[in-house]
Structure 1
Amino acid sequence: MKTLDFAIITPSYAPDFKRCQLLSWSIKEFVSPSVNHYIIVDRRDLPLFSQLEGPNTKILTVESLLPWWIQRIPFSKNGWLSLKTLPIRNWIIQQMVKIAVAQYIETDVLIFVDSDTTFVRPFNLQSLIRDGKVRLFKEPPYDIETNLNGHKTANHLLSIPNLNSPPFGYIGNIITWRRDNVLKLYKKLESISGKSWIETLASSWHLSEYVLYGVFVDHFLNQESGHYHDAEKISYEYWLHQPMSDEQLENFFAEIPSQHVAVMISSKAGISVEQYQSLLKGVSKANTALCK
């Protein structure tokens, strides 16, 4: 049985730099075996993020992953010009770039980790593999709008009928894909649309890269996908768009379940890294000591 290799991919941007810096530190501290971490940022943020570059930390630009016919609108924060489609929202570009990395990163398993996530316990990437199969996060059905829209778009792109029941969830902040499946997804999209896969996605108004991949492998590849399903989260999360008090932050870090190897405090919560960095590193240090 082949030993699979891994890469961690993190899209980020200047306002999240300190969070991404913490993530980068935690990967070196806790993740084994040693793994390349690819941070994807806009070209304008490259000078800032270049200070994180090292033997196992690579900085890629969004622009380097896109075709020549997609260019940022000058002086625009969130718009991209396309010579083949209508202008593209920055949100869609973010999803497309994650799918595009399979063309540039030739490792078996692509692990997407959000930049507001930090590992706090030792984490062996081989724990994501069972009998040669790679973990695919798949939650029970739920009908939140982002999930519904993601499924509608995926079903349209893949010519699958929409279901009346709530769809499964594939969205999270630590997500694993097989690179060979992404290459198959390219071909499937192109065979249906008659266009390049990236032009096909660029024409979408709503898009969830995680839903698109999950629907594709479950509907078309099924038992041949090389995945096993797992509904258990491996990070302890705070998603609310409101800050926590110092006491609430202390409780949050004190209550991290033992099965969770990472924490995620949404960058939209309005909590500065300085407010919780010492708590996070304290928990991390304690967990490191326990494992020695």
Structure 2
Amino acid sequence: MKMEINPLLMSLMCMSICVSLVSSVRFDELFQPSWASDHVVFEGEVLKLKLDSYSGSGFESKSKYLFGRTTVQIKLVQGDSAGTVTAFYMSSDGPKHHEFDFEFLGNTTGEPYSVQTNVYVNGVGNREERLSLWFDPSQDFHAYSILWNQHQVVFMVDQTPIRVFSNKEHKGVAYPKDQPMGVYSSIWNADDWATQGGRVKTNWAHAPFVASYKGFEIDGCDCPVTTTAVENAVKCSSTGERKYWWDEPMMSELSLHQSHQLMWVRANHMIYDYCTDVSRFPVFPVECDHRR
């Protein structure tokens, strides 16, 4: 019987030889409020972002990173959260930026949450996927992760992959690998589109809407703002004795077990996939070839 090695276990084994690793459960070691700090509340190990009729709120990482993995545990807004969006994402700067998005779309009471993911490369997005979750994300904390290396971007929920954006440069598809990215989260009002296409508006009588966070982790190559793109590329590549766990061959694709998990998620929980939307894309994007 062939034994499969869990990538998470492999990453732990690699820590003794990896460099520039960052991992913490304390918010202030890695992050800081980015706007509306009066709507950011600390309660022990839990951070809460609030949205009311005056303002939403957000936080950002103190550094930017080129490759690695970031994870945060989130308990989403309880009750009637229609019109609200809670986002967890990575992004670089400028009009040609790269971005990886988790967007949790609010619901009316009794209706399920949905999560939308998107990938921007060189400022171009339009790669939305939307799915339902197999649990109520407002009742407890769940871990949401983004893994990023030279070969793939993997969105994970409680270590289960829900989306993979693979490097298809050999097919002429641009891949995000040259811009350090910060880690961000925010909550804001998006009732023009978030719930049932904007038909259900935010009920401010239920404000404040609160998203709770804990378990902050970033395990990546730290890129100071003073370093150039070339310097970052050299620093964040596995060369010589410097080895990053995300560059290990086994991290270049999903394991067999993870592939089966992804297939299950897509078969049972997929709501929308841009790769099958012929009204938007009469000619399918090149990266969607494998799904036709």
Superposed pair shares fold, TM > 0.5: no
TM-score by length of 1: 0.24
Greater share of residues in helix: 1
Task: Provide the TM-score with structure 2 as the length reference.
Answer: 0.24
Question: Larger relative CO (CA 8 A, sep 6+): 1 or 2?
Answer: 2
